[in-house]
Structure 1
Amino acid sequence: MKSARRNDIDWLRVISIALLLIYHIAIVFQPWAMFVGFIKSEKSVEELWVPMTMLNVWRIPILFFVSGMGLFFAMRKRNWKQLIGERTQRILLPFVFGFLAIAPLHMFIFQKFYNLPLGYYPHAGHLWFLGNIFVYVLLFLPVFYILKHRGNKRLKNILDKVMSNPVGPLLISIFFMLEAVLVNPQIYSLYAETWHGFFLGALAFFFGYLFVYSGNNFWRTVKKWKWGYLTLALILYIIRYFEFNTEAPGYLMALESNCWIFGIFGLVHHYMNRPSKLLNYLSQAAYPVYIIHMFVLYLGALLILPVKIDPLMQFFAITVFTFAGCYLLYGLLIRRIWFIRPFFGLKKKKSNKTRQVSVSQEPIVQK
Structure 2
Amino acid sequence: MQRYHNLDFLRAFAMMMGLVIHAPLLFWAPDFAKAFGIDNIAPAEEWVNVIGRFISSWRMPLFFLLSGFFAILVIERKGTSQFLKDRFIRVGLTCLVFSSLYDISDGSFDFTTLHLWFLYDLMIFVLFFSLLYRYKPTKDLLCTKMPPKIGFILVLWLISTVPLAYIFNNSWHPSALKAPITYFDLKIGNLFYYFSYFLVGVILYSNQNIFIKLKTTKTIMV
Matches within 5 A, 1:169-180: 169-180=154-165
Counterpart of 2:183? none
Asked whether the 8 Å contact 1:69–1:211 carries over to 2, the reply is: yes
Matches within 5 A, 1:273-288: none
Number of aligned residue pairs: 209
Counterpart of 1:63? 63
| CA shift for structure 1 position 211 | 1.2
Alignment of 1:220 onto 2:212? yes
AA at the equivalent of 1:60: M
AA at the equivalent of 2:210: F
| CA shift for structure 1 position 17 | 1.2
AA at the equivalent of 1:125: L
Counterpart of 2:17? 19
Asked whether the 8 Å contact 1:69–1:209 carries over to 2, the reply is: yes
| CA shift for structure 1 position 129 | 0.7
Q: Deviations over 1:289-336 (max 9, x none)?
A: xxxxxxxxxxxxxxxxxxxxxxxxxxxxxxxxxxxxxxxxxxxxxxxx
Q: Deviations over 1:123-147 (max 9, x none)?
A: 2111111111111111111323446
| CA shift for structure 1 position 220 | 2.1
125-134 or 74-83, which moves further after superposition? 74-83
Structure 1 stretches lacking a partner, 5+ long: 109-118, 232-367
Residues 161 and 43 of structure 1, relative CA distance in 2, 3 Å threshold: closer
Counterpart of 1:43? 42
Out of 117, 141, 159, the position equivalent to 1:128 is 117
Alpha-carbon distance in structure 1 between the residues aligned to 2:218 and 2:175? 24
Q: In structure 2, the residue corresponding to 1:28 is in which secondary structure?
A: helix
Give the alignment's TM-score, normalised by structure 2: 0.77
| CA shift for structure 1 position 225 | 5.8
Out of 203, 210, 226, the position equivalent to 2:203 is 210
Asked whether the 8 Å contact 1:128–1:192 carries over to 2, the reply is: yes
Give 1 or 2 for the bigger CA radius of gyration. Answer: 1
| CA shift for structure 1 position 92 | 0.8
Asked whether the 8 Å contact 2:91–2:119 carries over to 1, the reply is: yes
Residues 85 and 218 of structure 1, relative CA distance in 2, 3 Å threshold: same
Alignment root-mean-square deviation, CA: 3.3
Residues 22 and 152 of structure 1, relative CA distance in 2, 3 Å threshold: closer
Alignment of 1:28 onto 2:26? yes
Counterpart of 1:93? 93
Give the alignment's TM-score, normalised by structure 1: 0.49
The structure whose RCO (Cα within 8 Å, separation 6+) is larger is 1
Asked whether the 8 Å contact 1:92–1:134 carries over to 2, the reply is: yes
Asked whether the 8 Å contact 1:162–1:168 carries over to 2, the reply is: yes
Q: In structure 1, the residue corresponding to 2:179 is in which secondary structure?
A: coil
AA at the equivalent of 1:66: L
Asked whether the 8 Å contact 2:161–2:196 carries over to 1, the reply is: yes
| CA shift for structure 1 position 60 | 1.3
Residues 181 and 38 of structure 1, relative CA distance in 2, 3 Å threshold: same
Alignment of 1:187 onto 2:174? yes
Q: Deviations over 1:25-64 (max 9, x none)?
A: 122223x442799756722222311211222211211111
Alpha-carbon distance in structure 2 between the residues aligned to 1:189 and 1:19? 22
Q: In structure 1, the residue corresponding to 2:57 is in which secondary structure?
A: coil
Residues 44 and 124 of structure 1, relative CA distance in 2, 3 Å threshold: same
